[in-house]
Structure 1
Amino acid sequence: MTREYTEITVVGDDKTGLIARVTTLLFERDINIEDLDQAVRDGVFRMTMHVDTAEMTTEKEELREALHDLGDDLDMDIQVRFPADRETRTIAVLVTKESHCLEALFEAWADGKLGAEISVIVGNHDDLEPLADHYGVDFHDIGDEKGNPDEAELLDILAEYDTDLIVLARYMRILSPNVVFRYEDRIINIHPSLLPAFPGAEAYRQAREEGVRIAGVTAHYVTTDLDQGPIITQRAFNVPAGASVDEIERRGQPLEAEALLEAVQLHLDSAISVYHGRTELRDDVDAEGYQFGLPGAVDDLLADRPVDGLGSVVSRSEE
């Protein structure tokens, strides 16, 4: 899309008649639907619409109230985000016990390089609460004694802090569709492999067992399919012969923090868009300001021959 549209998200139990009720409300207010996408996962229905509100015959707050009332009537959660609402820069960071990614985010924030406010840290353990306290950021522990998170509490916290972007900084739990659907394309995760290789919780161990020579990390948007969301940035590193899982992890952790931080920056800069399951750099963005993958200097080290077709060129020159 080349212009800014208002985003409406509908989430709740799957039932008939939902789409008609919402679209009728919009039609009655001269709001044109430009794009509509829907999905059902584990009994949870999600519909995301991008609509043109430039010529609507109602006020913004009246539309919010009407959609809220319709949501109550349907027992659905209906949220509307106007273009101006998306200028909000509030980040909720979800963590477990590893600190390196959270430290990188805090350092960038403290140096004024993040361009957003880290408003809350949410953990399924309390190990990183002292780090949050050091930076004066609220910390909420939503896990039980085994670290199982209370997602209802998580959603309440995200709403309370008016969260614009969720960052999973080594949050070792899978978010349910009930959360993902509400924040689609606004949740960024860091995964310790070069996705789509080695999804899941034991990526470094899988890399060791498969004997890879080059491993890496991936920052990506979260979807309801585990570790299959649109890739944003990646980093790679060599795996020495005989390296242990711990050594591979030590090499990967600094790159996890680096790739995650760049992905967050790309999102906050509105430098990328998601299209057909992959991220694309926006046309008006200068790619030179970002790394995305390996440093550019690596290109000079790559072999440039042989290349298919050179043989026919040689044959013709000898005729």
Structure 2
Amino acid sequence: MSQRELTEITVVGDDDTGLVARVTSLLFERGINIEDLDQAVRDDLFRMTMRVDTAEMETTREALRDDLDDLGDDLGVDVRVRFPADRETRRVAVLVTKESHCLRRLCEAAAAGDLDAELSVVIGNHPDLQPVATEYGIPFHDVGDPDGNPDEDELLDLLERYDVDLVALARYMRILGPNVVFRYEGRIINVHPSLLPAFPGAKAYRQAKEAGVRIAGVTAHYVTTDLDQGPIIAQRAFNVPDGASVETLKERGQPLEAEVLLEAVRLHLADDIAVHRGRTELRDDAAEERDDPDGGYRLGMGPELDRATPDEPTDGPVARPTSGDD
């Protein structure tokens, strides 16, 4: 049996009848088997993501791209095709606002050859972090107005121009609209300063302080159109001292934000993580690495937490009382 070659096809555009049938019919006619199909509608915007087996298709890659482009023009939708071996080195875009710690950590990893990808572009909704990008020789583009409101059409143009495979939100303080999220579904990773699902939305550290938590943390997750509810990839936690200020929580959390975002980006780039029913799972080979103390992934706290966690008492069978004399 030949090996499967799973290719991703994404269709985004105005919701209309017949879209799915037209695309699937084109694929069927070219001997392409659909392995997985997911679709959604948000704010009248339609998105369909398919993973199809192109190993034995009855056409060429170039012809398939052209046919899907023509169909997209006919239907008034955007159709994009990603073959599994389009390039050896993948390209990452980093979206930023004003906080530099996550961006700098990603830049350091890439400069050290520790990322297995190229940081192709930094895009901000403010110009503040251009000096960091320039320091590492990475192009910078500001897509925000004076109030930081981004031009998402310009953002999409830049992501397409730089042929981006993954978008990392390095403390990007704006909510991405469906027009962006749908086009990069499963390829946008955000870092949030709380142990999601606790304290979603803005001012998470302040929310944690006001709630009086004793343990706070940070989360890296895939972005969906539901704010801070995408599949969780990795988390880190830290103790909250008595009387800690919001600034103290930020000082403790920011290094962990940078660490957990880098870990999540590495996992994604290595294809070591899969999403199933809204939850992330390590693939088999990656799970073996995770159990290797010399080099595995660290999705949560380290093994020291396992050692400190008691294993008893737990609920077990309860003996029935007996009656009678001793």
**Residues 1-319 of structure 1: pairs in structure 2 closer than 5 A:** 3-85=4-86, 87-285=88-286, 286-287=289-290, 288=292, 289-309=296-316, 312=319
| 1-structure distance, mates of 2:214, 2:282 | 30
- Cα deviation 1:104-130 (Å, max 9, x = unaligned): 001111111111100000000000001
**Amino acid across the alignment from 1:80:** V
Matched residue type, 2:196: L
Shift of 1:59: 0.7
Q: CA deviation at 1:4?
A: 4.2
| Cα offset, 1:3, TM superposition | 4.8
Instruction: Tell me how far apart the structure 2 counterparts of residues 136 and 21 of structure 1 sit (CA, whole Å).
Output: 44
> Is the Cα–Cα contact under 8 Å of residues 120 and 161 in structure 1 kept in the other structure?
yes
CA distance in 2, matches of 1:214, 1:150: 37
Cα distance change on mapping 1:177 and 1:88 into 2, 3 Å: farther
Unpaired runs of at least 5, structure 1: none
One-letter amino acid matched to 2:313: P
Q: Compare 182-191 and 27-36 and name the one that shifted more.
A: 27-36
Find the residue that maps to 1:284 and give its secondary structure: helix
Deviation, 1:305, is: 2.1
Q: 1:30·1:56 contact (CA, 8 Å) conserved in 2?
A: yes
Q: SS at 1:154's partner residue? A: helix
Structure 1 residue 242 displacement after superposition: 1.0
How far is 1:174 from its partner?
Answer: 0.5
SS for the counterpart of 1:84 is coil
User: 286-295 or 116-125, which moves further after superposition?
Assistant: 286-295
- Which amino acid letter does the alignment assign opposite residue 298 of structure 2? Q
Letter of the aligned partner of 2:119 in structure 1? I
Letter of the 2:220 counterpart: A
Q: Deviations over 1:179-214 (max 9, x none)?
A: 111111110000000000010011101000000000
TM-score where L is the length of structure 1? 0.95
Are residues 206 and 313 of structure 1, via their aligned partners in 2, closer, same or farther at CA, if it must alter by over 3 Å? Answer: farther
Per the alignment, do residues 240 and 57 of structure 1 end up closer, same or farther by CA in structure 2, a change over 3 Å counting?
same
For normalisation by structure 2, the TM-score amounts to 0.93
Q: Provide the C-alpha distance between the structure 2 equivalents of 1:133 and 1:182, rounded to a whole number of angstroms.
A: 28
Is the contact between residue 89 and residue 118 of structure 2 (CA under 8 Å) also seen in structure 1? no
Q: Which amino acid aligns with 1:302?
A: T
Give the distance between the partners of 2:57 and 2:4, measured in 1 at CA. Answer: 16
**What amino acid is the match of 1:190?**
V
Change (3 A) 1:13 1:86: farther
- Give the aligned residue type for 2:132: L
Q: Measure the CA separation in 1 of the matches of 2:87 and 2:282.
A: 19
Q: Which amino acid in the other structure matches residue 81 of structure 2?
A: V
Q: Which amino acid aligns with 2:128?
A: D
Per-residue deviation at 1:14? 0.6
Secondary structure of 2:220 counterpart: strand
Q: Aligned-pair distance for 1:298?
A: 1.5
Deviating above 4 A after TM superposition, structure 1's stretches of 4 or more consecutive aligned residues are 310-315
Distance 1:246 1:214, change over 3 A: same
When structure 1 is superposed on structure 2, of 78-87 and 264-273 the one drifting more is 78-87
Q: Distance in 2 between matches of 1:273 and 1:314?
A: 49
What is the DSSP-based 3-state SS (H/G/I as helix, E as strand, rest coil) of the residue aligned with 1:170?
coil
Q: Which amino acid aligns with 2:90?
A: R
Q: Is the 8 A contact 2:4 2:53 kept in 1?
A: no
Tell whether the 8 Å contact from 1:194 to 1:234 is kept in structure 2 after alignment. yes
Higher mean displacement: 155-164 or 24-33: 24-33
Identity, in percent, stands at 70
